[in-house]
C-alpha cells in the first residue's frame, strides 16, 4: 500500500514540515510513503469559468494534474496543515479550488480510484481546539468531494515553531500507529 503525506504549508522547514517528517518516518515502516509540499507544485487560481462542470477538464494546464496523480496513486492520504488566519493556507485552498474537475458535485467529473483513506493533522499557535476543528472540517469536506473516506484527525494547539513539535512527537506517533 502507498501513503501520501502532504505538507499543506508553503514553508518547507517549519513546524508543519517537521510533523510531515515524523508522519513519513512512521508510515514508511508499514507503507511505501511519499511526502510532498504544496509549494512543490505550480498552479494558478481557479477562474470560476465552470467549464469543468461540463467537460470534466480544467481550461488551465499546470501542476494540479501532477498533484492529483499523487492522490490517485496513494491508498492513504495524510494532509498536514497549519492555521493561516483560522483556516487552511491559501496555497492549499487554491489547489482545492482547482480540484473541481474531480469533485462529485457535478457530472461529468474525473475520478480517482475508490477506497482511499484520508487523515488530517492540523496545528495552530493558539491554545484553543476550535480553530483546529475548522481547518479539519475544510480538509474533510475536500476529501468528501473526492470520495476519500475520512478516517481520523489530530489537532495540535500551541505549536508555532519546529522545536515545539518535539514535545508532541509521541502524540503524533500514536496517531500514526492507527493509520
Domains and CATH numbers, the chain: 2-177 (3.40.50.360)
CA gap 163, 76 in Å, rounded? 27
CA gap 168, 36 in Å, rounded? 22
CA gap 4, 174 in Å, rounded? 18
CA 134 to chain centre: 14
Cell numbers found for residue 22:
515524523
Three-state SS string across the chain, please? Answer: CEEEEEECCCCCCCHHHHHHHHHHHHHCCCCEEEEEEHHHCCCCCCCCCCCHHHHCCCCCCCCHHHHHHHHHHCCEEEEEEECCCCCCCHHHHHHHHHCHHHCCCCCCCCCCCCCCEEEEEEECCCCCHHHHHHHHHHHHHHHHHCCCEEEEEEEECCCCCHHHHHCCHHHHHHHHHCC
CA end-to-end span of the chain: 12
pLDDT of residue 148: 98
pLDDT of residue 73: 98
* Averaged pLDDT, groups of 10, the chain, 179 residues long: 98 97 98 98 96 95 97 98 96 97 94 98 96 97 98 98 97 98
pTM, two decimals, is 0.97
pLDDT of residue 66: 98
Amino acid at each position: 500500500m502507498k501513503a501520501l503525506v502532504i505538507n499543506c504549508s508553503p514553508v518547507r522547514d517549519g513546524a508543519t514540515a517537521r510533523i510531515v517528517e515524523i508522519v513519513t518516518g512512521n508510515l514508511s515502516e508499514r507503507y511505501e510513503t511519499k511526502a510532498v509540499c504544496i509549494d512543490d507544485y505550480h498552479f494558478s487560481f481557479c477562474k470560476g469559468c465552470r467549464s469543468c462542470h461540463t467537460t470534466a477538464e480544467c481550461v488551465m494546464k499546470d501542476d494540479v494534474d501532477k498533484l492529483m496523480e499523487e492522490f490517485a496513486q496513494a491508498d492513504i492520504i495524510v494532509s498536514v496543515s497549519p492555521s493561516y488566519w483560522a483556516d487552511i493556507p491559501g496555497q492549499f485552498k487554491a489547489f482545492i479550488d482547482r480540484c473541481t474537475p474531480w469533485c462529485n458535485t457535478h457530472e461529468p467529473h474525473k475520478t480517482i480510484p475508490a477506497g482511499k483513506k484520508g487523515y488530517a493533522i492540523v496545528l495552530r499557535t493558539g491554545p484553543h481546539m476550535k480553530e483546529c476543528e475548522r481547518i479539519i472540517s475544510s480538509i474533510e469536506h475536500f476529501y468528501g468531494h473526492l470520495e476519500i473516506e475520512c478516517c481520523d484527525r489530530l489537532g495540535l494547539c500551541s505549536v508555532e515553531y519546529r522545536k515545539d513539535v518535539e514535545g508532541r512527537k509521541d502524540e503524533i506517533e500514536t496517531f500514526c500507529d492507527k493509520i
